[in-house]
A = this chain, B = another copy of it.
Amino acid sequence: MTQTLGIALMGTGRMAHVYGPKINAHPGLRLEVIYNPRISSAEKAAAQYGGRAMDDLDAVLSDPGVDAVIIATPTDTHVDYIERVARAGKPIYCEKPLDQTLERVEQAMTALKEHPVPFMLGFNRRFDPDNAALRNAVKTGEIGRLNMLMSWSREPAPPPIEYVRVSGGYFVDATIHDIDLLCWIAGERPVEVQAAGSCMFNEQIGAEGDFDMTMTTLKMPSGALVHINNSRACAYGFDQRLEAFGNDGMVQTLNHRDDNLVRWNNRRTAAREPLKHFFLERYDQSFYNALDEFHAAITEGRSPSATAQDGRAALAIALACARSAKEGRAVRPDSAFG
């Protein structure tokens, strides 16, 4: 029988609503507690997904039913919660990013070094079946030595300007996903980055000094070159593609659609269905798979994929990209790697 872990879910925002149903669907996880300092929010979520509503973190962390904690609170609270949960000795699954600054990330890493609990960062795209299949094709040598990697991530529409203001900038908010995914596939991290950005969709974003469209090149130690293609808007939906080009061939992932029908209509075209709307729809399965990895790592006594170290590296690279785009020069992110 599967070992069941009692989970304390911290937070009741958008990501908590992603994790709640997935905890319930997973045979090895049991939603024990939903925590929010505002008890009414916790109660509302508990009514929806089950579990006990709690607002006292010390009580949560000493609760005998709580075997592990999922942190799905606002980003700027992640590090503080990591410190407290690590001190209490509970395994942690933390929604990405760790934080928007390298200083705070270092603080979390120090806490995890002092209290070495199992820790997993929610880089969910690694757990998408197609992304994982592409990585597997690369790792098993199907395309020979990896020479080029490309990732497209174009979002259906720009977020509200309020979100943009606190997002840490486009590279730190969005490109960071591609960076983590591509470094994980390549098995190496860039020695140098070049990035260029424009503001094409929402002038307010440009007024904040941010971009809504970027192209990034990563130069890897092996000589492999990586292209990241990001846009805050996309007329045809959430465009998510990967392309890995090697000595012996190429593999690509395709976009996902709402259905698989091919339509030949009286406008005389062959058409496919709309793409999946956005990340909740496109990566739905990946969130479940990420929790499954968290469960498996804990019950097998091994370290989960997607570590705090991975989070720090991705942030350092994203910050280097932002500097490159701003200063018009190649930037080496290596100083940030431990």
User: Which residue numbers of A lie inside 8 Å of B, CB to CB?
Assistant: 129-130, 133-134, 137, 142-145, 147-148, 150, 154, 192, 194, 196-201, 213-215, 217, 219, 223-225, 227, 229, 231, 233-237, 239, 245-256, 259-266, 268-275, 328-330
Contact A130 B260, CB 8 Å, known A147-B200, A223-B200, A248-B235: yes
Copies held by the complex: 4
Contact A235 B200, CB 8 Å, known A133-B261, A217-B217, A261-B137: no
- A250 CB contacts on chain B under 8 angstroms: 235-236, 239, 263-264
What 5 new A-B contacts, CB under 8 Å, besides A200-B224, A235-B247, A252-B264? A231-B245, A236-B269, A251-B263, A253-B261, A253-B262
- A152 CB → nearest B CB, Å: 9
Bound-state CA distance A214–B237 (Å) is 30
The 7 closest A-B pairs by CB, nearest first: A328-B330, A198-B223, A249-B265, A235-B266, A236-B264, A268-B274, A250-B264
Bound-state CA distance A130–B192 (Å) is 36
Bound-state CA distance A224–B273 (Å) is 26
Bound-state CA distance A150–B272 (Å) is 19
- A129 CB → nearest B CB, Å: 7
Across the interface, A274 reaches (CB within 8 A) one of B134, B197, B269, namely B269
Contact A236 B194, CB 8 Å, known A250-B264, A251-B263: no
- A203 CB → nearest B CB, Å: 11
- A197 CB contacts on chain B under 8 angstroms: 225
Contact A236 B249, CB 8 Å, known A227-B215, A227-B227: yes
The answer on a CB contact under 8 Å between A192 and B249 is no
- A147 CB contacts on chain B under 8 angstroms: 198, 200, 213, 231
Contact A261 B134, CB 8 Å, known A235-B248, A268-B236: yes
Bound-state CA distance A329–B324 (Å) is 9
Q: Which residue of B lies closest to A252 (CB)?
A: B262
